[in-house]
Structure 1
Amino acid sequence: MSSNTVSDKPNAINKLSGNMPNGAHTAVDVVLDTAYQGIDQNGWSQLFETARKAKLSEFISDMFAGKHINQSENRPALHSALRNLSKSPVLLDGKDVMPDITDVWRRIEALCNKWVGVTDVIHIGIGGSDFGPRLSIEALAHVPDIDSRGMRMHFLANIDTAELARILARALPHSTRVVIVSKSFTTLETTMNAKAIVAWLKASGCTKSQINKALFAVTANVTGAKEFGIEEDHIFPFWDWVGGRYSVWSAVGLPIALQYGFKTFEEFLAGAHAMDLHFKNAPLESNLPVIMALALLYQQEKHDIKAYAAIPYADALDWFPKWLQQLDMESNGKSVGKDGKPAKHSSPVVFGSAGSNAQHSYFQLFHQGPEIIPIDFIAVRKPMSDRPEAEAHHRILLSNCLAQAQALAHGKVDSNPNNVYPGKRPSSLLLLPELNAFYLGALLALYENRTAALGALWNINSFDQPGVEYGKVLAKPIEKALASGSDHVAADDSVDAITAARINFLNS
């Protein structure tokens, strides 16, 4: 670990004292303004009473205490320990997990210090092994004067070889390092892409020892990584009590440290840890993740909403809605609660993209469509560049953000029906003082904790994802049938008549 201590709270660059809007709350200098949610004081009182009846405070305590809140898999959900820079003990079935986590931090820092002459890093992973690191690399690339350490970071997730070909056309094989990320080390897309990269290294003239030097793994299946041919001291572990979509704080976030330095990775963890302390300790009435969860629950109860949007008015966060889609819909896209009974609510559809681009795309639906779609507007007070026009451009960006929220809330009356805006469209505003590693970590942890709070309110297990497995099982006999080349595949127990006809068409 670095000898420099990263505090739980950064140097404040924003001026919150006396200027907070009515109804706004703050944590870690992140401001949440729910004034346009349309919830009055009595409504909030009822929502907090709902949270108490759901024993939300007890759930939060149980999560941080390492209790097995992931009941279906009989595991805790201890991703918060991965960013516990205080190193205070975190017990898992009586054993402190922090020494193992601290050892991984030490190894990450050591690797950062000795990677000299590396031009390209290929990070291979999919889902939770891809979204968090990719979002973080993209977001932090916009931080003025950040040092990228002279490396190009490539993300290879899709089994589609178009992505593979694009990366290999740029990477320099003799100065490339490869990080294979898979919790199980059996994920089909990841293992096939990894084999393709190894074949490319061989075809490029790399020797066996050079290839061994180039390959690294991040996995909970250390044995599987060794069997693939990765040297033991190149394997970074993480644990089965870390869900893939919550794993960027582990060695899965290795690209952040490699690209921008270990100090930046520490700051990323520190921001998340600070938000965790707030979520763990703040009263429900001033707890940002809880307030966000209750606001969404309110809109489900009042308007039966089926979707919500996250619109970051920061181009650096264009990947944020994609990360959020997995976090919310994989965690809480359930129809059955923990008690085995049908769930009343679960995750709405999540979508979004960077504003103000989004205004020229689907905001028409927000303003005049029949559906009510709540929005999380996310803005940054400080411009993301040091260009001479940055301040002027940023004012326009912020004015668009504020104007859209106001227009959605109040609407417009007009004699021409085409020019009528119904209004009463709910939104929240999240305001970051600036976008750097600390506040990026705080933002992601805020939403992770909100997702967990929603699961508790809905009585849903946010930490398993059985629904993603069925399609993988069905894909195996279909792939076998496609590989056969036969255009006379018959329907059976694993391939229905429609799919068989499609296979026969593709093989013809």
Structure 2
Amino acid sequence: MSLPASLPPQNLHSVIDISLDTAYQGIDDRAWQSLFAGARQSGLEGFIADMFAGKHINNSEDRPALHSALRNLSQTPVMIAGADVMPAVAKVWERIEVISKQWDGVTDVIHIGIGGSDFGPRLAIEALAHVPGIQNRGMHMHFLANIDTAELARILARAKPQTTRVIIVSKSFTTLETTMNAKAVVAWLKDCGRNPEEIAQSLYAVSANVAAAKAFGILEDHILPFWDWVGGRYSVWSAVGLPIALQYGFETFKQFLAGAQAMDLHFQNAPLEQNLPVIMALTLLYQQEQHDIKAFAAIPYADALDWFPKWLQQLDMESNGKSIDRDGKPVKHSSPVVFGSAGSNAQHSYFQLFHQGTEIIPIDFIAVREPMSDRPEAVAHHRILLSNCLAQAQALANGKTASNPNDVYPGKRPSNLLLLPKLDAFYLGALLALYEHRTASLGALWNINSFDQPGVEYGKVLAKPIEKALASHQNNIQANADIDAVTAARINFLNSK
């Protein structure tokens, strides 16, 4: 990637042929020096070393965050409490490879999970489907997450029960949406004439709670483990990513891991001034300090990555959406609201706000050098796609003056350009790992624990007495310790119909 000679060289960084251009961030040499100095003062270098060393950086849950071990294809020892975890990780790789070669004749796979058990594999299956010439076994991969039976009904209407396999993914195997959906799918298999032995042979589980999976009816040799040192939103590298190997072959899954490992090695070893995840984190921190930004957008100019912003929403906001830091003190900054969708569709949706709205919203433009199809018109279409990406970034940065106030673009809207040489399993893995490390770096800079999510639990607790009240069909529910007056009134309204 070449840039005009007038651009300072510090605006362009690259690793494994992924290029990051920060020219439109408006950060000068002095500001960069201050940002790197601040990063060192915050202990970011030590944090990175501690993460890869298996230190308990997830301080609230007193455990490591070692998802990088799941893609450690070199099998360099990774120690937790004096034991190397890599033999157990390698055994899971072996089981994934065996399973991926066994499912001949399977037409449908129903993958049941929610949150981190859903977003990663769903994104990967969608993204890799666009890779020209990729090995594809042609299974229909159905992702069942929502407790809303509309999603369940849509999937069951399409799947063929006699040739369907089911993967139930839950770290605890107690997630309500997942277990209820799993029971519904098992009931469907039974209603379609599958006998108990056939059903048992059709069910697989990925869980840290082997006992609960066995109690559900999963055969022990159909249960693939993952570990409490892997957060759900960081788990696609584990057996949670089994659909990738099933659909595209184990070698493709290994390439996915290899891309992530390449980014791990870069993040672990590169100095801060050359470290892509760190630099991306610092650009967002700078805009928070300068403009008190409240939102951030990720716009991939690749239809294959349309699910990427949804994956990133969970990664960023579940990791860093906190109001207190590691020491229990109020934070100055935490995760902004994250949103986005594929360009150039997004231009015809919310870019008006980017250009002329009152809020400054930093953007990561993500583009791919090579077209994502082998259609005869692919080159011409891709040229237009890239020209739109570059034009939007330029217009946002430079703005436009006009005598008519309606035609004025204020400009000075910051953005990054992240350019992938192509989009295949290797570069998809590298992209996801890049953003994982960017998110963790931001957490370290803000002194936030990026690896717990206590805020999602309270609503689950409150849902239980509310569900019980709804099941009573009574419309005289009174406010109590679990149900406030507004919610009681809403329950009564629902039960009155």
TM-score (norm 1): 0.96
SS at match of 2:296: strand
1:434 aligns with 2:422: yes
Q: What's the counterpart of residue 188 of structure 1?
A: 176
Q: Does 1:140 align with 2:131?
A: no
Q: Aligned pair 1:340/2:328, yes or no? A: yes
Partner Cα separation in structure 1 for residue 327 and residue 39 of structure 2: 18
Once the two structures are superposed, residues 317-341 of structure 1 have per-residue CA deviations (whole angstroms, 9 ceiling, x without a partner) of 0000000000000000000000110
Q: Give RMSD over aligned pairs.
A: 1.3
Aligned equivalents of 1:236 and 1:488: distance in 2? 47
Q: Secondary structure at the match of 1:495?
A: coil
User: Counterpart in 2 of 1:375?
Assistant: 363
Task: Report the equivalent of 2:102.
Answer: 114
Matches of 1:312 and 1:452 in 2, distance apart? Answer: 21
Paired AA for residue 489 in structure 2: A
How far does residue 146 in structure 1 lie from its aligned partner after superposition?
A: 1.7
- AA aligned to 1:504 is N
How far, CA to CA, are the matches of 1:499 and 1:252 in structure 2? 36
Map of 2:161 onto structure 1: 173
In 2: Cα distance, 1:392 partner to 1:240 partner? 48
Deviation at 1:147, TM superposition (A): 2.4
Whether 1:482 aligns to 2:474 is no
| Paired letter, 2:209 | N
The DSSP-based 3-state class of the residue aligned with 1:312 is strand
Q: How does 1:136-285 map to 2 (within 5 A)?
A: 136-285=124-273
User: Aligned-pair distance for 1:145?
Assistant: 1.7
Q: Does 1:321 align with 2:319?
A: no
**Which residue pairs with 1:446 in the alignment?**
434
Counterpart in the other structure of 2:487: 499
Partner residue of 2:382? 394
User: What secondary structure does 2:60 align onto?
Assistant: helix
Looking at structure 2, the residues matched to 364 and 389 of structure 1 have their Cα atoms a distance apart, in angstroms, of 29
Question: Aligned AA for 1:312?
Answer: P
Amino acid in structure 2 at the alignment position of 1:60: I
The corresponding residue for 1:312 is: 300
Tell me, in whole angstroms, the C-alpha distance in 2 between the residues paired with 1:324 and 1:409.
24
1:416 to 379, 404, 409: 404
Q: 1:471 aligns with which of 451, 459, 468?
A: 459
How far did 1:21 drift? Answer: 8.2
Measured in 2, the distance between the counterparts of 1:357 and 1:424 equals 23
Q: Once the two structures are superposed, what CA deviation does each residue of 1:460-483 show, in whole Å capped at 9, x if it has no partner?
A: 000000000000000000000000
Residue 449 (structure 2) aligned to one of 447, 454, 461? 461
CA distance in 2, matches of 1:151, 1:385: 20
Once the two structures are TM-superposed, the CA of residue 93 in structure 1 deviates from its matched residue by 1.2
Matching residue of 1:64: 52
SS in 2 for 1:178: strand
Report the AA paired with residue 495 of structure 1: I
Alpha-carbon shift at residue 150 of structure 1 (Å): 2.5
Q: Which amino acid aligns with 1:266?
A: K
| Aligned-partner Cα distance in 1 for 2:71–2:54 | 14
- Post-superposition CA distance 1:88-134 (Å, at most 9, x none): 00001111000000000000000011111100000000000000000
Alignment match of 1:96 (pick from 60, 67, 84): 84
2:351 to 333, 342, 363: 363
- Matched AA of 1:452: A
Matched, 1:384 2:403: no
Q: Counterpart in 1 of 2:21?
A: 33
Determine if contact 1:67/1:76 at 8 Å carries over to the other structure: yes
1:289 alignment partner in structure 2:
277
Q: Which amino acid aligns with 1:321?
A: P
Q: Look up the equivalent residue of 2:302 and give its one-letter code.
A: A
One-letter code of the match for 1:46? S
Return 146-155 or 72-81, whichever deviates more: 146-155
Q: For residue 391 of structure 1, give the secondary structure of its aligned residue in structure 2.
A: helix
Q: After superposition, what is the alpha-carbon deviation per residue over 1:328-378, rounded to whole angstroms, capped at 9, x for unaligned?
A: 000000000001100111000000000000000000000000100000000
What CA deviation, in whole Å up to 9, does each residue of 1:48-87 have, x standing for no partner? 0000100101000000000000000000000000000010
1:196-227 deviations in whole A, cap 9, x for unaligned? 00000000000111001000000000010000
Amino acid in the other structure paired with 1:457: L
The aligned length equals 494
**Distance change in 2, residues 1:93/1:15 (3 Å):** farther
Hey, what does 2:37 align to over in structure 1? Answer: 49
SS of equivalent residue, structure 1 residue 347: coil
Separation in 1 of the partners of 2:263 and 2:68? 10
Alpha-carbon distance between aligned partners in 1 of 2:32 and 2:8, rounded to the nearest angstrom: 17
Q: Does 1:303 align with 2:291?
A: yes
Instruction: Determine the structure 1 residue equivalent to 2:66.
Output: 78
Q: TM-score, normalised by structure 2?
A: 0.98
Q: Distance in 2 between matches of 1:455 and 1:225?
A: 33
- Separation of aligned partners in 1, 2:256 and 2:454: 30
Cα distance in 2 between the residues matched to 1:228 and 1:52: 49
Task: Give the share of equivalent positions with the same residue, in percent.
Answer: 78
| Residues in 2 aligned to 1:404 and 1:49: alpha-carbon distance in whole angstroms | 32
Query: Which string of whole-angstrom CA distances, capped at 9 and with x for unpartnered residues, describes residues 268-295 of structure 1?
Result: 0000000000000000000000000011
Provide the secondary structure at the position in 1 that maps to 2:158. Answer: coil
Q: 1:366 to 1:188 in 2, by over 3 A?
A: same
List runs of 5+ in structure 2 lacking aligned partners. none
Mapped to 2, the partners of 1:15 and 1:91 lie a distance apart of 42
Q: Is the 8 A contact 1:325 1:350 kept in 2?
A: yes
| CA displacement at 1:403 relative to structure 2 | 0.3
